[in-house]
């Protein structure tokens, strides 16, 4: 809403409050970043706010390739790689299935398909604690317990489907059904309509869904800590282990460097494609 345009006290107040808020949100990341560039003696002598004397990369290198996590002292690089090995197939599979589901639930409806959609939505609400124990048993039974792929990946695909289906369904419902009808009169079938009519207009929703899934799975901790062990763990679980590992001197600089490594992929995605990220966040929330 538009108020006065003169830069009076009112404007100063608005910018003042926004700046205070910006400092509050930026401060933790700033402190992490400068801490990661310092040595521990430097942190003791200059505190956590001061800029580092020099750009010292030793904490980064230690966090990446030498820090002790669990039984091994090889840093987080393996776990970082684990998260990619997990996330890439999980995102592709859950997004692809969600796209077909959304297509069917909007343009190939059948008796009960709407009821099924509402039943599926429960999957976006439940606290996942309610499924952990049976899932652990099932994974044990089929012999994939504790594995990153396919064990943990399968969990993320299954419990991502409600979200991906919701996204595509809400997007495809806006595509005129007459288009599909016309294509069917022309003899196009189920798959050719999907690939020739739906897919070419789906770039925005594929971006939204893939970024949402990437962020959710990369950042997830609960499934990772329950369903993987040792060297199979994703990076979030490794970070927590690293910080919790009791050593003679707590290496805060290494902890911070490791945490920033773990944060980088989702942070980069956010900075590059923020608009899709925000759309995903508000997609279920603010529907048309």
Partner 1 sequence: MPFMNAEFSGRDRWMAKLVLSPTILAATFFIYGFILWTIWLSLTRSTILPSNHFVGLANYYDLFGSSRWWRSLSNLGIFGGLYVVISVGLGLGLAILLDQRVKAERLYQVVFLYPMALSAVVTGVAWRWLLDPGFGIQAIVRSMGFPHFAFAWIDDPDMAIYTVVIAAVWQTTGFMMAIFLAGLRGVSPEIVKAAQIDGASTGRIYLRVILPSLAPTFFVALVLSVGLAIKSFGLIIALTGGGPGYSTNVPSIFMYVFSFQRGEMGVGAASALMMLVIMMIFVLPFLYLDSRRQA
> Which one of residues 8, 47, 174, 230 is an interface residue with partner 1 (CB under 8 A)?
47
2 sits near partner 1 (criterion: CB under 8 A) = yes
**Cα end-to-end distance, the chain, whole Å:** 21
- Using CB under 8 A as the binding rule, whether residue 29 contacts partner 1 is answered as yes
Residue 170 lies near partner 1 (rule: CB under 8 A): no
Q: 43 or 144, CB closer to partner 1?
A: 43
CA distance 161 to 124: 9
Q: Which of 25, 41, 55, 71 binds partner 1 (CB under 8 A)?
A: 25
Size of the site for partner 1 (CB under 8 A): 93
Closest distance between partner 1 and the C-beta of residue 79, in Å? 12
Number of helices (H), then strands (E), belonging to the chain: the values are: 13, 0
Contacting partner 1 (CB under 8 A), which of 37, 42, 43, 59?
43
Sign of the torsion angle spanned by Cα atoms 9, 12, 17, 23? negative
Closest distance between partner 1 and the C-beta of residue 168, in Å? Answer: 12
DSSP symbol at 49: T
Query: 3-state secondary structure string, 91-126?
Result: HHHHHHHHHHHHHHHHHCCCCCHHHHHHHHHHHHCC
Q: Which of residues 252-271 bind partner 1 (CB under 8 A)?
A: 252, 255-256, 259-260, 262-263, 266-267, 269-271
Question: What does the alpha-carbon distance between residue 64 and residue 55 come to, in Å, rounded to a whole number?
Answer: 16
Would you say 55 or 130 has its CB closer to partner 1? 130
Q: Provide the token pair at 260.
A: 């920033």
Residues 221-250 that bind partner 1 (CB under 8 A): 221-222, 225-226, 236-237, 239-240, 243-244
- Here the tokens at position 282 are 């508000």
84 forms part of the interface with partner 1 (CB under 8 A): no
């Amino acid at each position: 809403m538009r108020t006065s345009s003169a830069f009076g006290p009112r404007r100063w107040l608005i910018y003042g409050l926004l700046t205070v808020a910006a400092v509050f949100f930026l401060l933790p990341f700033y402190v992490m970043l400068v801490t990661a560039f310092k040595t521990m003696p430097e942190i003791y002598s200059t505190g956590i706010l001061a800029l580092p004397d020099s750009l010292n990369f030793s904490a980064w290198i230690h966090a990446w390739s030498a820090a002790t996590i669990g039984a091994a002292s090889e840093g987080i690089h393996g776990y970082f790689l684990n998260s990619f090995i997990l996330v890439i197939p999980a995102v592709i599979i859950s997004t692809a299935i969600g796209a077909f589901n959304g297509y069917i639930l909007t343009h190939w409806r059948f008796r009960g398909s709407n009821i099924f959609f509402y039943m599926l939505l429960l999957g976006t609400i439940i606290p996942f604690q309610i499924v952990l124990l049976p899932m652990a048993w099932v994974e044990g039974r089929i012999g994939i317990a504790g594995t990153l792929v396919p064990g943990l990946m399968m969990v993320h695909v299954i419990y991502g489907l409600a979200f991906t289906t919701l996204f595509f369904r809400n997007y495809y419902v806006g595509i005129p059904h007459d288009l599909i009808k016309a294509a069917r009169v022309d003899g196009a079938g189920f798959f050719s309509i999907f690939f020739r009519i739906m897919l070419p207009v789906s770039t925005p929703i594929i971006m939204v869904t893939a970024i949402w899934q990437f962020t959710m799975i990369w950042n997830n901790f609960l499934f990772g800590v329950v369903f993987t062990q040792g060297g199979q763990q994703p990076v979030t679980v490794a970070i927590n282990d690293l910080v919790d590992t009791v050593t003679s001197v707590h290496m805060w600089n290494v902890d911070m460097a490791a945490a920033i490594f773990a944060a980088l992929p989702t942070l980069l995605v956010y900075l590059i494609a923020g608009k899709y990220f925000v759309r995903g966040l508000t997609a279920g929330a603010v529907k048309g």
